[in-house]
Structure 1
């Protein structure tokens, strides 16, 4: 499991005590929600080696997408914020050492995002974080036209043959709601999913229980229970199939589920499971959403992902 966003499963007092004992950097690559380990155990065999982080004091350039404008910073975070994950991003993109002195393992650094280890470190537990200051799914900049397509980048990076491949038979990508995370820099988990989850999604599709278009995503006939990989039982998800990740998933969720149902983006979890067959990747994706408004709903991606 990932330690960062699993605050629902760890009493806050215990988490704070653990934070004090280990320091924020030691918890950065948490399960369920975020982060890269500022320092960690010896590299896992087969894990991509870390490339040097840039030391240019200027923000990354060369094709970088716009970041949230000043008027959104009260909702999306200030560049001067001290969130530990944001400090990790600044180390990877600008060479600024976090106050803790612990340097994260920058597995990949681009103008738009960085990839870090998750916790526990493994060849199937990574995090993709924007190089922009974006607190999380509630940031309204994520539904603007100019935001980078972080989901597509996570898939291209974590797929077999990607720069930081998730070494697992089935891959899952996920983001937690505002209440289900601890650190507040947007991060997409790049992890595994169980074979039973993949089979269940394909069976639901064959039974006509997967929405074929975003406009139908919120319909009750496309809500179904999936058994968690963490032994916590079934949770209910809204399930959509897409042929590509070229569209902004945050926009699709906001326009087709959140706003029509009168929900709040801050309370949503979002999970992507590439469809796999005996022949390999089927060039389509299952996109799952849930929140506490659903019967047996959840606001964390941790129940389905294998860290």
Structure 2
């Protein structure tokens, strides 16, 4: 069994030994505007929620690798309960959804035909409650679900299923070279790291030759628009080319949430610079059946501008 791949428990790698971050994502503008209510989990002992803390200040400023990792680890630990309550029904317990549009891997087949997933070793990065990994198990694959947030992985344990869970940093993957046939990440890790090339190089390292890595993130064009689901979210309000990170900070100026913007060109250069080959960029259209708003995602905006970009890469 691979290092850290132990079903039924969380294999943790100490934060002090890691310098880069991997989180599950629906941030701002990606993160989904988590409603600041105090809710109690009915299945696990609740932890301090963000709603119990002073309202952070939203700003645009630099945030390095260490600050980004620390902030997002804390944010997801505080907000995992709220997130799973709010979106658990949409995500399901064992469904592989690439983003708020609802594009399902069973239809998209971006990792390959389902029948070819059987027996494959697959790493899910920024797995959250491991919904995608649980679907992969149902296809006969052997996934490992990795996330920076211990609280998100506790939800994976709550839901159950025979999925190995690893708490670790996407920039320092605790696996041997060539451990996996495939890797995937649905809104995990890449939107939140200050050094995406480092994460991509790590993914390439743990993939076997011919292995595919598919990841989704907020479509970069969304950074030019307000994060609002209604008509006010349809007018350009900022420069698409402004790469200054979005930061929420406390009264002492310490970041409590960080998200990093990369243009489409930046993403392409990052992928190529990490030694991967980009074979496709998928921009899911908003389906007629999806009437749900998800933070800044909505049928109104989704029918006019893309909300998600999915990058399909290969390790030659």
Q: TM-score, normalised by structure 1?
A: 0.27
Question: What TM-score, normalized to structure 2?
Answer: 0.27
Between 1 and 2, higher relative CO (CA 8 Å, sep ≥ 6) is seen in: 2
